[in-house]
Structure 1
Amino acid sequence: MAAISTSEERDEGGDLLLWVLVWGELAAFGILLTGYVVTSMLHPESFALAKLHLAPRLAGLNTVVLLASSWQAALAASSQGKPRRQRLFLLGVALLGFLFVALKFAEYSSEWAAAGDENLQTFFELYFLITGFHLAHVAFVAALFLLAAIRLERSTIVTLTTIWHVIDIVWLVMFPLIYLG
């Protein structure tokens, strides 16, 4: 007779839909970043000139913020049975996620003027598309972490943490490619 598995016995984070979402996100960002790389090879001078208008130090600070938020997410996922600590970690993820958003908007405000330059338009169209798409993910999932802090549910926390780490991985590819390359 086959045993019926309980939710505790199932592999956490192993839901098919979660992994479809993860791979779908990675594919979407992969396509965008591939388009960026190809276009940068077709227009190297304008891309190099446009990158002079970026704020790599602010983006570097945002990298630290995002990594710290991922650490908080991992702590939340591993704090099962400690609801107070888990809530604090979830709130930490959300707050750091919103700090990332605020810093990104500060960065955008200094870059917006350069985006109007016709010679830099291709770069900035791709830049705002890619970083804006990433920013929307950060803002949305940070809000979900706030909701998760209200109603602690293990599977939700594991799912959000997995997605958050994917967002983190995408940024860790975007940052050197766009700001340092």
Structure 2
Amino acid sequence: MAMQTSLQEEAKDDHLLLWILVWSELIAFGILILGFLVVSTFEREAFELARLHLRSGLAGANTLVLLISGYFVAVAMRQRNDLDTVKRPLTMAALLGFCFVAIKLFEYWGEVRYAQDATLDTFFELYFMITGFHLLHVFFGAIALLLIAWRPGRENLVLIANLWHVIDLVWLVIFPILYLA
């Protein structure tokens, strides 16, 4: 009985740590996005000009890639009672995460030259900071998806599913603010 209580307390601690991580990520991204929005009000013309150099089609494709990867994570969560069946959807989600990274790096390759323009540098500094921070989350999240697909466990599955969906949610906020506003 004492052993079961101890395991339940550890599970509660794990959930608390998960939500602390999730909220800290949301706060960090919120601060970055708020900073972007504040600066954009003071440098409206430069930001509008800089947005013309973004590849919104690639960002739209990346949005679709992340949404589909989130679907595969949701499939894995629905199948969590049979851990052997979660491997394929988690692997697909991870591969789509790496696809996101590849598309984003290709997008950066075309945009980095505009960052050196003195008129556009503030926009691109903030743009690369926000999207780069997100890109790192996607990259490391995809690695975590592969590791959990290799050795699945229910608690790890719940953890990565929540984190992956937060990464998706953050992108769904970033995309319209940076590319469409």
TM over 0.5: yes
SS at match of 2:119: helix
Deviations 1:102-129 (A, max 9, x none): 0000110110111111110000000000
One-letter identity of the residue aligned with 1:164: W
Q: 2: CA distance between counterparts of 1:13 and 1:148?
A: 20
Q: 1-side partners of 2:155 and 2:80: how far apart? A: 11
SS at match of 1:135: helix
One-letter code of the match for 2:91? L
* Equivalent residue number for residue 167 of structure 1: 167
Q: Structure 1 vs Structure 2: percent identity of aligned residues?
A: 50
TM superposition outliers: structure 1 runs of 4+ over 4 Å: 4-8, 10-14
TM-score (norm 2): 0.93
The residue aligned with 2:132 is: 132
- The one-letter amino acid of 1:111's match is E
Count of residue correspondences: 181
Taking a change above 3 Å as real, the CA distance of residues 53 and 12 of structure 1, as seen in their structure-2 partners, is farther
Tell me which amino acid in the other structure corresponds to 1:128: F
The equivalent of 2:121 in structure 1 is: 121
RMSD: 2.3
User: Does the 8 Å CA contact 1:13/1:159 hold for their aligned counterparts?
Assistant: no
Distance in structure 2 (CA, Å) of the matches to 1:97 and 1:156: 18
Q: 2:174 corresponds to which letter in structure 1?
A: M
Deviation at 1:51? Answer: 0.3
Name the structure 2 match of 1:43.
43
After TM superposition, the structure 1 stretch with the greater mean CA deviation from structure 2, 76-85 or 31-40, is 76-85
Aligned-partner residue type, residue 149 of structure 2 = A
* Matched AA of 1:59: A
One-letter amino acid matched to 1:166 = V
Match of 1:66 in 2: 66
Q: Deviations over 1:41-77 (max 9, x none)?
A: 0100000000000011110000000000011111111
What whole-Å deviation, never above 9, does each CA across 1:129-162 have from its counterpart, x for those lacking one? Answer: 0000000000001001110011110100110000
Give the gaps of 5 or more residues in structure 2: none
Unpaired runs of at least 5, structure 1: none
Give, in whole Å, the separation in 1 of the partners of 2:21 and 2:83. 27
TM-score, normalised via structure 1 length: 0.93
